[in-house]
Structure 1
């Protein structure tokens, strides 16, 4: 029999966060769902179930993160699954992005994730159990035109999760980074995606094409967010969950293309790569 879990899900008002909350509740689990404003709206939308607690949390506010985690413990006694889902996209050439836009993206996608993680992990360490799930992106697996800055925030999430998986394993805690491809959420809407106001014409054939593509494909993406949420239920019930979990055939294709190119480059530059050590290596 599967043990009832307590979930802590950030960015739960829409998109992946909302679907994950629905699936967790549907599985009989308890959920603390965080939103930036108007918690009563989400509670009403979900029918105010007894197993749901909606709390206000701006992930960039470290004090709020600690307060939200404490509220979760007071309500349900523990946190078994942390889903760091809150974040937003930035569509821009690397050169086009302003300092403020870059800092804003990192503030939410990286530093916000760290705020919440630091707030929750002490409770997981006390129980010697738990699962941290960080929502990354296919842009965290490989660099994609127009998504360089956003992707760099997700590359950071990838590295953090890989290290956490090793650090937390002896404590009985799992860490997984989930890398969705293009899913049919609100991600490409103005509420979730920032487009830089600084446009450089020289990038018309690359980033310009991506801007047009993002507009055209909005609400037509191949990925189903409901199916992703169901997959996360399976993930949290796995005895040996993976550290990386790409989601969607497109994400897998992007990853394989990068892997193949990396292998070709290593083969072509093998002598240079292996020729940079000292002749005598002290063991």
Structure 2
């Protein structure tokens, strides 16, 4: 007997992981609610499929969020939420434009939080559900030029870890996904940069931006295989809270954890010296 199709609500389906996930799920016969700020961008892929609904959604707009969740709730509720909507921003901390980084947080952090809060009551009432938050290796490792972007993705990781512990006994599972370099549009037309570059950062931030531009479209990660990996985690009876995707990302995370452990060990005496003495 085939399993009952689940309701998957996916944000940011125009490109990248959102689109790849929707395509794989449609092929599997799941019920997909594919969203985008501009729904017409999805017609070329999703038109004509009975098991997909294309919905307009800007995650920075509360009325959009509630309208979309109401649609899914009218058809049984959200079984799996994929918080994928987001984009990249490369700028030195000093170069960052206030409007740009505030908007980055509105989408990458506050939009994700609002989406999650909108589906949690239904999941809690049913005693089941899975929230998948797409973060980044940049949410675990900070790199030059990614300070603002990394701040949004570090926030997603912390939010997800806390939610996983809060929701565990409610039947709700949480996974935060950390892709490394993938052949999505992240480093292409979706990437935003500083409006007023500062020459002093030529050999750090600007060099990295040039490198990202050169590898765009040639990254090692395959979005379709990445989507299948995410689905394997959701299908697992014991899904991970953290899921790193791709060999380059895994290497970066492991190197960072090793370096972090060595630094903590080197400063252990100073760390422990910050406590009251045992006899105090």
Return the alpha-carbon distance in structure 1 between the equivalents of residues 116 and 173 of structure 2: 13
Contact kept, 8 Å, 1:30 with 1:52, in 2: the verdict is: yes
Aligned match of 2:152: 153
CA offset at residue 281 of structure 1? 8.2
Q: Which of these residues, 237, 257, 260, is aligned with residue 259 of structure 1?
A: 257
CA offset at residue 280 of structure 1? 4.1
Contact kept, 8 Å, 2:46 with 2:54, in 1: the verdict is: no
Return the alpha-carbon distance in structure 2 between the equivalents of residues 82 and 267 of structure 1: 39
Contact kept, 8 Å, 1:2 with 1:237, in 2: the verdict is: no
Return the alpha-carbon distance in structure 2 between the equivalents of residues 110 and 47 of structure 1: 30
Aligned match of 2:247: 249
Return the alpha-carbon distance in structure 2 between the equivalents of residues 237 and 268 of structure 1: 41
1-10 or 267-276: bigger deviation: 1-10
**Does residue 48 of structure 2 align to residue 8 of structure 1?**
no
Contact kept, 8 Å, 1:9 with 1:84, in 2: the verdict is: yes
Aligned match of 1:172: 171
CA offset at residue 3 of structure 1? 3.7
Per-residue CA deviation, residues 149-180 of structure 1 (Å, 9 max, x unaligned), is 10110000000000000001010000000000
- Cα 1:80–1:216 change in 2 (3 A) is same
Per-residue CA deviation, residues 5-47 of structure 1 (Å, 9 max, x unaligned), is 110000011111001001111111101111112x255245223
Aligned match of 1:73: 73
Aligned match of 2:45: 45
Aligned match of 1:162: 161
RMSD, aligned α-carbons: 1.4
Contact kept, 8 Å, 2:177 with 2:244, in 1: the verdict is: yes
Return the alpha-carbon distance in structure 2 between the equivalents of residues 208 and 132 of structure 1: 35
Per-residue CA deviation, residues 185-235 of structure 1 (Å, 9 max, x unaligned), is 111122x11011121111111111111101111101110001011112211
Return the alpha-carbon distance in structure 1 between the equivalents of residues 78 and 119 of structure 2: 7
CA offset at residue 146 of structure 1? 1.3
For normalisation by structure 1, the TM-score amounts to 0.95
Q: SS of the counterpart of 1:186?
A: coil
Q: SS of the counterpart of 1:251?
A: helix
Return the alpha-carbon distance in structure 2 between the equivalents of residues 169 and 31 of structure 1: 25
Q: SS of the counterpart of 2:77?
A: coil
Return the alpha-carbon distance in structure 2 between the equivalents of residues 247 and 2 of structure 1: 27
Return the alpha-carbon distance in structure 2 between the equivalents of residues 14 and 81 of structure 1: 19
Aligned match of 2:188: 189
181-190 or 240-249: bigger deviation: 181-190
Q: How does 1:208-227 map to 2 (within 5 A)?
A: 208-227=206-225
Contact kept, 8 Å, 1:7 with 1:79, in 2: the verdict is: yes
Q: Alignment length, in residue pairs?
A: 279
- Cα 1:276–1:217 change in 2 (3 A) is same
**Does residue 63 of structure 2 align to residue 63 of structure 1?**
yes
Return the alpha-carbon distance in structure 2 between the equivalents of residues 90 and 41 of structure 1: 22
Contact kept, 8 Å, 1:184 with 1:222, in 2: the verdict is: yes
Per-residue CA deviation, residues 36-59 of structure 1 (Å, 9 max, x unaligned), is 12x255245223211111111100
Alignment gaps of 5+ in structure 2: none
Return the alpha-carbon distance in structure 2 between the equivalents of residues 41 and 184 of structure 1: 19
Alignment gaps of 5+ in structure 1: none
Q: SS of the counterpart of 1:131?
A: strand
CA offset at residue 257 of structure 1? 1.0
